[in-house]
Structure 1
Amino acid sequence: MSRPQEFDTTEALHHAMRAFWLKGYEATSLTDLLAATGLSKSSLYATFGGKRDLFLAAFDAYRQARARDAHRVLRQQPARRAIETFFHSLFADVNSDEPMLGCMSINQAVELAPHDPAVRQRVVEDLQQMELVLTQAIGRGQQDGSVASLRPARELARLLVLAFPGLQVMARAGYTRQQLDDAQQLLFTCLDG
């Protein structure tokens, strides 16, 4: 008879996610994961499989949480304010003492996606999902008058998605909150008439 599990799987997954997010997949060792999760090697392998399986589970948990957050924020009214709130929320921790982790999907677009088809698919799905929810928000904004641009909503959304990785890199490189806000305000002019 197997022993009952004595740890919270969701919490362990969250701690593993943080370890991968902080150091990246390649630089995160098994020792790092055991320290982060508090699990024994046998518990980690029995619950999550190997390092790659744990990474994919952690990355998927990250992606699902971010998608829920994006949907929640971008459904607010008026749509223009929702779009700006969404982008500003991505950089809320820029001036904190914690290291700027950036977007895990963008980090993995650089680290693993070029040579890992499963990660590449997830990154592409994330960017396409972002484009979709931004297209919907921009369309609502064009209806409610908060987005004055007459360009097709999908084109405007694609431009915002195109800028997203650049903003993430700026944040990780050490740009200040004010510099990021200024860059975003410039970006948002594409929504004007």
Structure 2
Amino acid sequence: MARPQEFNTAEALYKAMGVFWSKGYEGTSLADLLEATGLSKSSLYATFGDKRDLFLAAFDCYRAERTRELHLVLDNGKARKSIETFFRKIIEDARATTFSHGCMSTNQAVELAPHDPDVRRRVETDFQVIEDAFARTIQRGQAEGSIRSPVSPRKLARLLVVAFPGFQVMVRAGANAARLDDALATLLSNLDLPSK
């Protein structure tokens, strides 16, 4: 008879996600994962497979959580304000100690995506999900009048997606608040009618 599992799989996965998120894939050792999860080597391998399998499961956990948060922010209230809130949240989260390691998808776009097709597909999917969410929000904003730009929602969404990792990188690089506020105001001005 098999021994019953004595740990919470979801909790262990969440803890592993935190390690991969803060240290990256290459920077995370097996010892880091065992310490964070509190699992033995045999339990870790039996439950999640090897380090790469665990990383992909943890990355997928992160991605699902972030997608829920994305929709929570963008699907509520006036569209233009929702988009501004989304970017202000990125800036605040990047400044917070807990989130100082940035967006895991952006990090992996640089670390593993260039040479790992499985990670590349996930990163591409993540940016497409963000683009689609922005496009829907912009379309809603144009219909309700909070976004007055006549530019197509898809084109505006692509601009916002390009800005998304840029803000995270600038915050992590220590850009001051005035510079970020100015950049955000300029970015959001693309949602208004062009000045004559």
The residue aligned with 2:119 is 119
- Report deviation, 1:99: 6.2
Alignment of 1:21-32 (within 5 A): 21-32=21-32
Q: Name the amino acid aligned to 1:122.
A: R
Residue 179, structure 1, aligned to residue 179, structure 2: yes
Unaligned segments of structure 1, at least 5 residues: none
Cα RMSD after superposing both structures: 1.3
Q: Name the amino acid aligned to 1:158.
A: R
Percent identity over paired residues: 60
Q: Name the amino acid aligned to 1:157.
A: A
> Relative to structure 2, which stretch is displaced further, 133-142 or 174-183?
174-183
Contact 1:80 1:141 survives alignment (8 Å)? yes
- Report deviation, 1:181: 3.0
The residue aligned with 1:20 is 20
> Relative to structure 2, which stretch is displaced further, 3-12 or 177-186?
177-186
Contact 1:100 1:171 survives alignment (8 Å)? no
Distance change >3 Å, CA 118–CA 143, structure 1 → 2: same
- Report deviation, 1:182: 2.8
Residue 51, structure 1, aligned to residue 59, structure 2: no
- Report deviation, 1:150: 0.3
> Relative to structure 2, which stretch is displaced further, 89-98 or 76-85?
89-98
The residue aligned with 1:8 is 8
Distance change >3 Å, CA 176–CA 8, structure 1 → 2: farther
Provide the rounded CA distance (Å) in 1 between the counterparts of 2:133 and 2:10: 27
Provide the rounded CA distance (Å) in 1 between the counterparts of 2:2 and 2:92: 44
Distance change >3 Å, CA 162–CA 97, structure 1 → 2: closer
The residue aligned with 2:63 is 63
- Report deviation, 1:98: 4.3
Alignment of 1:102-141 (within 5 A): 102-141=102-141
The residue aligned with 1:74 is 74
Q: Name the amino acid aligned to 1:86.
A: F
Q: TM-score, normalised on structure 1?
A: 0.95
Contact 2:94 2:168 survives alignment (8 Å)? no
Provide the rounded CA distance (Å) in 1 between the counterparts of 2:82 and 2:99: 26
Provide the rounded CA distance (Å) in 2 between the counterparts of 1:136 and 1:99: 27
Deviations for 1:88-130, whole angstroms, at most 9, x for unmatched residues?
1122234434461111000000000000000000000000110
Equivalenced residues, count: 193
Residue 164, structure 1, aligned to residue 164, structure 2: yes
The residue aligned with 1:83 is 83
Q: TM-score, normalised on structure 2?
A: 0.94
Q: Name the amino acid aligned to 2:46.
A: A
- Report deviation, 1:73: 1.1
Provide the rounded CA distance (Å) in 2 between the counterparts of 1:190 and 1:91: 19
Distance change >3 Å, CA 30–CA 116, structure 1 → 2: same
